[in-house]
């Protein structure tokens, strides 16, 4: 937990007293000059502490942004600890920013928004907070970077954008719940946390080919986070889960400091978003694990990129290392295993560079090669 030492808020001080030092020392977020939510509680029973935090702050009318699956699993905890004054908002069914602003009237009786669930629900909570001007707190059910970042990934007019949003007033990570993480969710989170292995390379290609301004220190750190996640051997072990949290929390801090999701979102996310736009129902992180493998193969044929990595003191991870690690965790490493036809994948490769809104478009390795060349390289590597 962090309390702003220079300007202590009495509510935060009281909440800090309620929360003894977390037993997961490795999960305590280190002090960094990054922008992040002022209160972060990581402990057993953290959600119970969230209810005390709400009482102390006078948050008596709470709007919970969640979905029916999460509500079925966790709704009872909320009712037990927060009382009956909960308003439920179906986050995933209000995907567009415009819908969030129209639905803000639902919140007229609320004085706090709670984002409950994974990245999608948390991002929707942020959008509701933005348009209703209400404070929000995060009760994550998995280790998603969305809890700490001041950006939401949303679809506006059919295009994916990274929209700036208010930071959470507080984040309550209940380690009792996290250790019961569904294995498929953990796997998906792991796949997503490998994204910087390609996103960082894409940022450098953008600098080399287009002169884009980058922040090398943060890019290097993001690459290290991904390399560390790649070395996780068992995502269901306590050590594996801790490392996965650390990776996600550090990504959020890095994105906040960078001012955009660029260190963690490049060609791998572009292809994944394109597949989504074409109707894929695959879990986000499973898809991103595979597209990260795709990206590392494409980067391995960019000689100037390897040279730049060496100059920057970045030890490049080979596509073979990514493949071995993905296979170990049971990820698809061939297009057929992902359940996508070659034709469909080619369609996604065409769409990927255009999937982000025009003012948010990112140059990636997909702009260096045409789709035919990309498919040829991937076929040679045995991926498609």
Q: Which is nearer to Zn ion, 40 or 149 (CB)?
A: 149
Q: Which is nearer to Zn ion, 67 or 268 (CB)?
A: 268
The whole-angstrom separation of Cα 196 and Cα 254 is 11
* Cα separations in angstroms, 217 against 144, 373, 376: 23, 32, 34
The whole-angstrom separation of Cα 26 and Cα 181 is 18
The whole-angstrom separation of Cα 175 and Cα 351 is 39
> What number of other Cβ atoms are within 10 A of residue 369's Cβ?
16
Report, in Å, the least distance between residue 145 CB and Zn ion. 8
Q: Collapsing DSSP states into helix, strand and coil, what is residue 62?
A: strand
Report, in Å, the least distance between residue 11 CB and Zn ion. 33
221 binds Zn ion (CB under 5 A): no
Q: Which is nearer to Zn ion, 39 or 294 (CB)?
A: 294
Name the token pair of 30. 């280190």
**Interaction residues for Zn ion, span 170-199 (CB under 5 A):** 192
Report, in Å, the least distance between residue 345 CB and Zn ion. 19
Q: Which is nearer to Zn ion, 19 or 262 (CB)?
A: 262
* Cα separations in angstroms, 128 against 107, 114, 121, 135, 173: 9, 10, 11, 10, 21
Report, in Å, the least distance between residue 149 CB and Zn ion. 11
Report, in Å, the least distance between residue 2 CB and Zn ion. 25
Report, in Å, the least distance between residue 16 CB and Zn ion. 32
Q: Which is nearer to Zn ion, 51 or 287 (CB)?
A: 287
Q: Which is nearer to Zn ion, 163 or 192 (CB)?
A: 192
How many residues bind Zn ion (CB under 5 A)? The answer is: 1
194 neighbors 229 (Cβ within 8 angstroms): yes
244 neighbors 175 (Cβ within 8 angstroms): no
Q: What is the CA radius of gyration of the chain?
A: 21
Residue number with the shortest CB distance to Zn ion? Answer: 192
| Cβ-based neighbours of 119, under 8 Å, separated by 6 or more | 144, 145, 146, 153, 284
Residues near Zn ion, by CB under 5 A? 192
């Amino acid at each position: 937990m962090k309390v702003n030492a220079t300007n202590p808020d009495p509510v935060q001080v009281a909440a800090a007293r309620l929360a003894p030092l977390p037993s997961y020392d490795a999960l305590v977020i280190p002090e960094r000059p990054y922008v992040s939510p002022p209160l972060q509680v990581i402990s057993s029973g953290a959600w119970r502490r969230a209810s005390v935090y709400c009482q102390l702050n006078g948050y008596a009318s709470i709007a919970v942004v969640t979905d029916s699956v999460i509500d079925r699993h966790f709704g009872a905890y909320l009712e037990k600890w927060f009382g009956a004054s909960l308003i439920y908002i179906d986050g995933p069914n209000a995907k567009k920013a415009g819908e969030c602003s129209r639905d803000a009237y639902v919140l007229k009786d609320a004085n706090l928004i709670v984002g409950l669930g994974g990245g999608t629900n948390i991002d929707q909570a942020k959008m509701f907070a933005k348009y209703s001007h209400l404070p929000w707190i995060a009760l994550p059910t998995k280790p998603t970077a969305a809890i700490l970042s001041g950006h939401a990934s949303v679809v506006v007019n059919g295009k994916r954008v990274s929209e700036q949003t208010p930071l959470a007033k507080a984040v309550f990570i209940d380690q009792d719940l996290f250790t019961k993480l569904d294995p498929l969710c953990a796997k998906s989170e792991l796949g997503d946390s490998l994204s910087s292995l390609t996103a960082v390379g894409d940022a450098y290609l953008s600098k080399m080919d287009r002169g884009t301004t980058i922040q090398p220190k943060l890019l290097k750190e993001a690459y290290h986070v991904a390399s560390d996640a790649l070395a996780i051997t068992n995502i269901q072990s306590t050590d594996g889960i801790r490392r996965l949290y650390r990776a996600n929390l550090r990504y959020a801090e890095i994105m906040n400091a960078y001012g955009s999701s660029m260190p963690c979102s490049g060609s791998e996310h572009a292809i994944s978003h394109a597949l989504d736009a074409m109707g894929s129902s695959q879990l986000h992180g499973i898809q991103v694990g595979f597209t990260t493998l795709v990206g590392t193969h494409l980067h391995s044929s960019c000689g100037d990129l390897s040279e730049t990595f060496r100059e920057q003191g970045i030890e490049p991870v080979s596509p073979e290392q990514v493949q071995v690690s993905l296979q170990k965790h049971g990820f698809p490493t061939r297009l057929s295993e992902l359940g996508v036809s070659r034709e469909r994948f080619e369609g996604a490769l065409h769409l990927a560079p255009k999937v982000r809104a025009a003012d948010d478009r990112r140059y990636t390795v997909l702009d260096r090669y045409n789709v035919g060349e990309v498919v040829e390289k991937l076929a040679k590597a045995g991926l498609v």
